[in-house]
Amino acid sequence: MITESAIVAIAGLVAIIALLFLLITRFRWHVFLALLVPILLFALIPGVDRRALISAFEQGFGRTVQSIAIVIVLGSLLAEALKHTGGVERITISMIRAVGERRMPLALTLSGFVIGIPIFSDVGYVILNPLVHGAAITSGVSMSTMATGLVGAMQMTHAMVPPTPGPLAAAALVKADIGRVILFGSIASGAAAIAGWMFSLVIGPRLESPPSREFVGQSFVERGLEAQLPSTWRAYAPVLIPLVLIAGQSAAALALPSDHIVNTAMVYLGWPVVALGLGVLLAFRNTSADQAQLRTGDWVESALRTSAMIIIVTGLGGSLSQILRQTPAVDAIARGVTGIGLPAIFLPFLLGIVGNMITGSTTVGVITAASVVGPMMPTLRLSPEATMLAAAAGSVIIKYPNSSYFWVCTSLSRMPLREALISFGGVTLVGGLVAMATVYVMWATGAI
């Protein structure tokens, strides 16, 4: 044990969270340093066994990173390929044609639901912003009506459905089955996306947020370059095939004997490294001749840069989780939660909200919540999937001006701050609450 005192352990955890909040909000530290320094200072508390803490830190970091590092890099590389090859725009065009141009806000919401799975939300909005402005002008509606559902849907799947790094990292921290997370995360984020679209229809007409003509003519379609986009199937395949393979591995493990030939094959094909590797290869098939060198050079380097911070922060989350496991704080907090009658599922949800409020990052929010609650799951009688999805639902709530995603969407949509707070802050609040309600129902009925 790092310490035998529950008071010391709980006080140390509270101090870590408080110092994390202070370093990020007051001194503007990067989340890596803001998380590392409080953990190191925890070792200076009287009564802490420093040798045990060092061992727990190294074990937690190593075990966490070894299971997700390659997968996060592959997911980031897949996002790079989809961004540069026009796959994002093709997916959006297919949704528009499926539901009709008269239902453009719904089409954008549905495309955001798909695009948010492999691509960071802010990148997705940057790509689609010209299309959103053009659609708002053509339809004669406000940007609040046209963009809000898209903003909410991308954030929901970004938070809840692997292989986006946040849910992937959180699933690794609590040792959740990724296939089950994909299935139940899709259900929860799908319900939240539809709720966000309905919210946009109610609030949009009441807000003054006109589209801007400065972005008109920048999309592939408006430039007459639709023929250069990949086909619908080739745009969807890099996203859907890895998801099907990963989820199929979990389904085969449940439905078939372990020595069944299908199960044996799916153990390999559904391994996230292989599944996402196939997704990257399928995305690379959509590249043009002049992108041949970029895809093996610049795209890989960009993916590595994007992945590095997430991998390191996730590793630190694993260290914190392992340190907590070796203190009495875990049982003390878990008993306190059950003693006050609060359903256990709401603990990771509330911590997800706190983590997001502190850092402004959905990814860091879900990682922080999973790190803290992971060691408590047996006492709280929570499954890894329920813990991770509840944390993810909390991590999207309260998107306000400390969030980079909020500012990307606000600045590009040319929406006044008040209207953006109502639209984008409102849709993530509605989405997070609906997602949590869905997770709660699945947990209460024993589905997860």
In this prediction, residues 378-384 reach a mean pLDDT of 92
pLDDT band at 258 (very low <50, low <70, confident <90, very high): confident
Q: Is 80 exceeded by the pLDDT of residue 296? A: no
Instruction: Decide: 349 and 390 in contact? Cβ < 8 Å.
Output: yes
pLDDT digits (tens, 9 = 90+) for 228-251: 789 999 999 999 999 999 999 988
The dihedral through the CA atoms of 238, 241, 244, 250 has a sign that is negative
Peptide bond before residue 163 is cis, with ω within 30 degrees of 0: yes
Q: Within 10 A of 328 (CB to CB), how many other CB atoms are there?
A: 18
What was the pLDDT predicted at 216?
75
Q: Are the C-beta atoms of 67 and 171 separated by less than 8 Å?
A: no
Distance separating alpha carbons of residues 88 and 58, to the nearest angstrom: 39
pLDDT of 176 = 94
**Looking at residues 21-31, what average pLDDT do you find?**
82
Among 353, 361, 351, 366, CA closest to 405: 361
Tell me which residue has tokens 């998801």. Answer: 243
> What are the start-end ranges of the E strands in 385-436?
none
* % of the chain beyond a pLDDT of 70: 98
Residue 233 has which token pair? 């199937």
pLDDT digits (tens, 9 = 90+) for 318-368: 898 899 888 888 788 888 877 788 899 999 999 999 888 877 788 888 988
CA–CA dist 62, 312 (Å, integer): 10
pLDDT digits (tens, 9 = 90+) for 145-171: 999 999 999 999 999 998 888 898 899
Q: How far is CA 110 from CA 117, 156, 374, in A?
A: 12, 12, 32
Query: What is the rounded distance in angstroms from the CA atom of residue 78 to the CA atom of residue 81?
Result: 5
H helix runs in 140-177, sequence order: 143-160, 165-174
Cβ-Cβ contacts under 8 Å for 26 (sequence gap 6 or more): none
On whether the CB atoms of residues 248 and 272 are closer than 8 A, the answer is no
Structural contact between residues 249 and 179, judged by C-beta atoms closer than 8 angstroms: yes
The pLDDT value given to residue 24 = 80
Q: Tally Cβ neighbours within 10 Å of residue 290.
A: 7
**Helices and strands counted in the chain (H then E):** 22, 0
Return the beta strands (E) in 43-111 as ranges: none
Q: Which residue has the higher pLDDT, 341 or 98?
A: 98
CA distance 173 to 234: 33
Tokens of 266: 């799916």
Give the mean model confidence (pLDDT) for residues 112-126: 90
Give 242's contacts (C-beta < 8 A, 6+ positions apart). Answer: 78, 163, 272, 275, 276, 278, 279
pTM of the model: 0.88
d(CA 88, CA 222): 15
For residue range 198-225, what is the model confidence (pLDDT) as tens digits? 999 999 999 999 998 888 776 666 676 6
The rounded distance, in Å, linking the Cα atoms of 414 and 300 is 32
At residue 363, the pLDDT reads: 85
The pLDDT assigned to 222 comes to 66
CB 157 within 8 A of CB 164: yes
98: closest CA among 82, 112, 110, 81?
A: 110
Q: How many C-beta neighbours within 10 Å does residue 51 have?
A: 10
Give the percent of the chain with pLDDT over 90.
49
Mean per-residue pLDDT of the chain: 89
